[in-house]
Amino acid sequence: MSLSIGALARQAGVAIDTVRYYERKGLLAPAGRLASGYRRYGIEEIKQLRFIRRAKALGFSLDDIRELLAVSAERDVARVRRAAQHKLGEIEQRIAELEGIRVGLRALIDECPGHGHADACPILNALSKEPDV
Amino acid sequence: MSLSIGALARQAGVAIDTVRYYERKGLLAPAGRLASGYRRYGIEEIKQLRFIRRAKALGFSLDDIRELLAVSAERDVARVRRAAQHKLGEIEQRIAELEGIRVGLRALIDECPGHGHADACPILNALSKEPDV
DNA sequence: CTTGACTCTGGACCTAGGTGCAGGGTGCAA
DNA sequence: TTGCACCCTGCACCTAGGTCCAGAGTCAAG
């Protein structure tokens, strides 16, 4: 059984252009071709595209994923685990940043009466006042 | 007292190109000019650039900030507060997404022994297995 | 008057992850 | 044979928020 690029894209839930883009970026090996030049795919490529989708959903970049695919082909479990841990660290850091912003913004909103003088609005004051951030 | 673009950029802690970029984008009004064409700035612009920096640090995009500047010039406290609340909602949503990812990734890492067969690696399995996400 | 630092404009370039298009060829069913 | 859906390549374009550059003009100190 073999698939056209359109059929593959449908099966994997991505756009045709995305499949070609991933090939250019090295996330998919160059596809086999018919005499006409049409790409042909098998079951493996569906799996690989789904792998890519799931890894993206976990926050991995395409560069990360190319690494991950190489490492998983080597069946190097320890490296896969380290990569996952590294990504987890990045995600936790991003969460911490956003938490800081959330707390700051929440405090300003809670202090702001939502009416009255602009000079008394803690949001505008926080953004405008002298002391440097 | 008046400032060249370079002096302004130093005072505000941004790059010269960024000042011109903000002018193009409508975050700064077109500067006054000397006969030579050189831009001249006053104290107001330092404050405004610092306002922009702080708002960016709170997660506002440049488009948001242009709005915020217009609204704050109107001294419309209620709208400023609504804008802040809206942004807070976006940030909380983003945090929730990242939390979901964090939990998923943490669970996979905790289950992964970090050695042994790739077939038994929960990370690779989660990425590869059939059921669609 | 010269020198070095500064400024002007317009436009190209960067990252990430694609999307869209033109102009052409292919596959298949009626 | 016609008609339509599909596929090919290469390139331009998109968002966001800038950064960098060439080539030319300006300012101020010595």
- Confidence tier at A96 by pLDDT (50, 70, 90): very high
For the segment A10-33, the average pLDDT, to the nearest whole number, is 96
Nucleic acid strand C within 7 Å of B62 CB: no
A94 and A129 share one domain: yes
**Interface check B128 vs A, CB under 8 A:** yes
For the segment B60-70, the average pLDDT, to the nearest whole number, is 95
For the segment A90-99, the average pLDDT, to the nearest whole number, is 96
- Confidence tier at B116 by pLDDT (50, 70, 90): confident
Separation between Cα atoms, residue B84 and residue B62, nearest integer Å: 14
Closest protein residue to C20 using CA and C1' atoms?
A: A17
- A/B interface, count of CB pairs below 8 Å: 144
Domain count, chain B: 2
- Residue A62 within a domain: no
Which span out of B6-15, B108-117, B123-132 was modeled with the highest average pLDDT? B6-15
A53 and A87 share one domain: no
Chain A residue with minimum CA distance to B96: A95
- CB-CB neighbors (< 8 A) of A53 in chain B: 133
Please provide the DSSP assignment of chain B as one string: --B-HHHHHHHHTS-HHHHHHHHHHTSSPPPEE-TTS-EEB-HHHHHHHHHHHHHHHTT--HHHHHHHHHHHHTT-HHHHHHHHHHHHHHHHHHHHHHHHHHHHHHHHHHH--SSS-GGG-HHHHHHHSSS--
Question: Which nucleotide across the nucleic acid strands is nearest to B6, CA versus C1'?
Answer: C6
A42 and A88 share one domain: no
Q: Could you list the residue range(s) of the whole structural domain that residue A1 is in?
A: 1-57
CATH code, B36: 1.10.1660.10
A40 and A88 share one domain: no
pLDDT tens digit sequence for B85-96: 999 999 999 999
Two structure tokens written together for A6: 């359109």
Separation between Cα atoms, residue B66 and residue B70, nearest integer Å: 6
CB atoms closer than 10 angstroms to residue B28: 22
Looking from the CA of B29 toward its CB, the CA atoms found within 13 Å total: 12
For the segment A89-107, the average pLDDT, to the nearest whole number, is 96
- Residue B17 within a domain: yes
B52 and B92 share one domain: no
Instruction: Indicate if ipTM > 0.90.
Output: no
For the segment A18-30, the average pLDDT, to the nearest whole number, is 96
- Confidence tier at B130 by pLDDT (50, 70, 90): low
**Helix (H/G/I), strand (E/B), else coil: A47:** helix
Closest protein residue to C7 using CA and C1' atoms?
A: B38
B19 and B49 share one domain: yes
- CB-CB neighbors (< 8 A) of A112 in chain B: 77, 80-81, 84
Is the pLDDT at A86 greater than 60? The verdict is: yes
Looking from the CA of A1 toward its CB, the CA atoms found within 13 Å total: 7
- Is residue A6 a contact partner of residue A13, using CB atoms and an 8 Å limit? no
- Is residue B44 a contact partner of residue B31, using CB atoms and an 8 Å limit? no
**Interface check A124 vs B, CB under 8 A:** yes
Question: Which nucleotide across the nucleic acid strands is nearest to A21, CA versus C1'?
Answer: C18
Contact flag B114-A87 (C-beta cutoff 8 Å): no
**Helices (H) then strands (E): counts for chain A:** 6, 2
- Residue B31 within a domain: yes
- Residue B29 within a domain: yes
B41 and B85 share one domain: no
One-letter amino acid of A69: L
- Is residue A53 a contact partner of residue B132, using CB atoms and an 8 Å limit? no
